[in-house]
Amino acid sequence: MSQKLRVGILGGTGMVGQRFISLLESHPWFEVTVIAASPRSAGKTYEEAVGGRWKMLTPMPEAVKKIVVMNVNEVEKVAAGVDFVFSAVDMSKDEIKAIEEAYAKTETPVVSNNSAHRWTPDVPMVVPEINPEHFEVIKSQRERLGTKSGFIAVKPNCSIQSYAPCLAAWREFEPTTVVVTTYQAISGAGKNFEDWPEMVGNVIPFIGGEEEKSEQEPLRVLGKVENGVVVKAQEPAITAQCIRIPVLNGHTAAVFVSFKKKPTKEQLIQKLTEFKGLPQELELPSAPKQFVQYMEEENRPQITLDVDYENGMGVSIGRLREDTVYDYKFVGMSHNTVRGAAGGAVLCAELLKAQGYIQAK
């Protein structure tokens, strides 16, 4: 590309917004030109607005420090300076729905990390390796919104990234039942240990809204496009428990699964390691070369050793074995703020750009 697309970050001062900014620091296609946040941050430089709340392990990029933060509610003004936006705003669900549609109606594509539009029938919710064909519904969404180039696309919840790819890779064996317990990092709540000292040495067996997302969102990802909307899959039946544990980054899942057509362990591992999609074929900048790795060691995957696999964009699976109640059980792990949040959205935007949905204004 001779010229990079201009990107706006909505909600740029929060943890996911910061992750977007750090991931885009040297992106070959995209450049952060606008950062928008709440009115209390507007008018300050990004460095001033974030203050001591920079939560990434890498330093704040020099290129964004002096960008003056805009008011996210001044939609026309923000949209005028960008080709598309990433959304990580911290608002109520109804407010997020309204503001993302408002940006789309300025002919600005919105790639969202938020959950507000994940069940809007004509909004694609995409893991690029699994269901890129769901972007087809953008055509009907544009007709509904009355736009030519503006639209909303979303990525699914961080908690499903460590097991939904397995269900997609194993689709031909027809998974029927999935029992999953996720062990979720504190950064999934937008916090670190300084913000949340009571999490040190602690486990909290409840994360509001996560279990419903963990049970239902994989079915939408595995669903089909019919008559301009996404229709969720009916199987497998998924039941989930979601637990907060004292790690900073990385969601782990312990999963049990049964199939209509029971495969061998070797077949399952082969399907995982061969699983790839359009991001790999197109060699998109953020795409992991190996989407899913299978680890033979009994004590892997581990957060400290494996969370940054493929720069945090890959998924690690291990301990696959036959079960006494279900057919198989395994452990999965993925980086919740990279693959599960900002990185997953960046990869969606790269694919949308490659397919012509996102263009320079």
Does the structure show a pLDDT above 70 at 1? no
Q: Which listed residue (117, 134, 166, 251) is catalytic?
A: 251
Reading the block at residue 191, the tokens are 């916090």
Query: Which percentage of the chain shows pLDDT scores above 70?
Result: 99
Alpha carbons 277 and 349: distance in angstroms, whole number = 15
Per-residue model confidence as pLDDT tens digits over 134-148: 999 999 999 999 999
* Entry pTM: 0.97
Per-residue model confidence as pLDDT tens digits over 150-176: 999 999 999 999 999 999 999 999 999
Q: Closest by alpha carbon to 88, among 150, 161, 164, 22?
A: 22
Contacts of 198 (CB under 8 A, 6+ apart): none
Is 158 labeled as catalytic in the residue annotation?
yes
Per-residue model confidence as pLDDT tens digits over 318-341: 999 999 999 999 999 999 999 999
Contacts of 308 (CB under 8 A, 6+ apart): 335
CA atoms within 13 A on the CB side of 118: 20
Q: What confidence category does residue 2 fall into, taking pLDDT thresholds of 50, 70 and 90? A: low
Per-residue model confidence as pLDDT tens digits over 228-282: 999 999 999 999 999 999 999 999 999 999 999 999 999 999 999 999 999 999 9
Alpha carbons 87 and 297: distance in angstroms, whole number = 38
Considering only CA atoms, give the Rg of the chain: 20
Average pLDDT over residues 348-355: 98
Q: Which listed residue (158, 166, 242, 348) is catalytic?
A: 158
| Residue 120 vs residues 57, 110, 149, 291: alpha-carbon distances, Å | 35, 14, 18, 28
